[in-house]
């Protein structure tokens, strides 16, 4: 793990928020923290705890037919589906179960769904699951795809989110700025760390971080 790694205990869940403070560049912004979701995405016990927390606090009673798992959140999405099913949540699927899909990207970075996946989107109640949200631009891309392919948006959720809504749609998360009050994100051209001459410590995407 990179230098400066720390855990932040969050009330109501056994899985701490793991972060590294510094100067990081994402696809959409510069941030002063790297939010490390590696084990949350890959370790079954942590993914299950996060999913259970989301369903218990935010998603109970929601109608969900299909979960679109963006940013490598398929394990979390599968546990969300399990928790929703256990809680008796309704869906309109003939098999009375929840579909788990992940977006595919074409050469223009646009989301596409193949013909065999389209029936899991068209006319279905869709829950979008994200990893870490700062600007909301990634959410917007998935929301546009849901609309284009004829899905009905039920909700948007994330493991960590710095925003509470995007274009009027609530973004519910396990961790947020209440847990990391000094978390900041800015446009590349308006980054105070860049203006102060602080070099970038790492490049961040949904797979993790590459330290420089």
37-62 pLDDT tens trace: 999 999 999 999 999 999 987 777 78
17-38 pLDDT tens trace: 999 999 999 988 999 999 999 9
Query: Nearest-CA neighbor of 127 among 51, 178, 179?
Result: 51
Average pLDDT, the chain: 92
pLDDT tier at 181, thresholds 50, 70, 90: very high
55-84 pLDDT tens trace: 987 777 788 999 999 999 999 999 999 998
152, two tokens: 């009905």
DSSP assignment of 33-58 equals: EEE--HHHHH-HHHHHHHHHHHIIII
Residue 187 pLDDT more than 70? yes
pLDDT tier at 191, thresholds 50, 70, 90: very high
d(CA 185, CA 101): 29
Query: Nearest-CA neighbor of 111 among 75, 149, 76, 73?
Result: 149
pLDDT tier at 92, thresholds 50, 70, 90: low
Residue 2 pLDDT more than 50? no
Work out the burial of residue 21: count CB atoms within 10 Å of its CB; fewer than 13 is exposed, 13-18 middle, 19 or more buried: middle
Work out the burial of residue 112: count CB atoms within 10 Å of its CB; fewer than 13 is exposed, 13-18 middle, 19 or more buried: middle
Least confident of 89-93, 96-100, 120-124, 205-209: 89-93
Residue 1 pLDDT more than 50? no
d(CA 43, CA 154): 27
Options 3.40.47.10, 3.90.1300.10, 3.40.50.2020, 3.40.720.10; which CATH number does 5-211 get?
A: 3.40.50.2020
Residue 161: predicted pLDDT: 96
105-144 pLDDT tens trace: 998 889 999 999 999 999 999 999 999 999 999 999 999 9
18, two tokens: 């793991």
Taken as a whole, the chain contains a residue count of 212
Residue 56: predicted pLDDT: 87
End-to-end CA distance of the chain: 14
69, two tokens: 């798992």
Residue 162: predicted pLDDT: 95
Residue 85: predicted pLDDT: 85
Instruction: Read off the DSSP letter of residue 190.
Output: G
Biggest CA pair distance of the chain:
58
pTM summary value: 0.92
Please say whether the dihedral angle defined by the alpha carbons of residues 62, 83, 160 and 131, taken in this order, is positive or negative. negative
């Amino acid at each position: 793990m990179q230098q400066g790694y720390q855990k932040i205990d969050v009330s109501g869940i056994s899985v701490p928020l793991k972060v590294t403070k510094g100067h990081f560049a994402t696809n959409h912004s510069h941030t002063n923290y790297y939010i490390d979701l590696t084990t949350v995405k890959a370790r079954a016990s942590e993914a299950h705890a996060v999913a259970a927390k989301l369903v218990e606090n935010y998603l109970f009673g929601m109608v969900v037919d299909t979960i679109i798992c963006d940013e490598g959140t398929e394990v979390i999405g599968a546990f969300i589906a399990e928790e929703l099913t256990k809680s008796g949540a309704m869906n309109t699927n003939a098999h009375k179960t929840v579909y788990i899909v992940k977006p595919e990207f074409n050469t223009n970075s646009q989301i596409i769904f193949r013909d065999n996946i389209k029936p899991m989107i068209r006319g279905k109640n869709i829950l979008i699951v994200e990893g870490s949200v700062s600007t909301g631009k990634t959410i917007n891309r998935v929301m546009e795809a849901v609309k284009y392919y004829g899905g009905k948006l039920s909700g948007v959720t994330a493991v960590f989110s710095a925003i509470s809504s995007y274009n009027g749609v609530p973004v519910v998360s396990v961790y947020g700025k209440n847990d990391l009050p000094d978390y900041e994100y800015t446009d590349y051209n308006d980054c105070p760390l860049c203006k102060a001459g602080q070099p970038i410590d790492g490049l961040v995407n949904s797979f993790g971080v590459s330290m420089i």
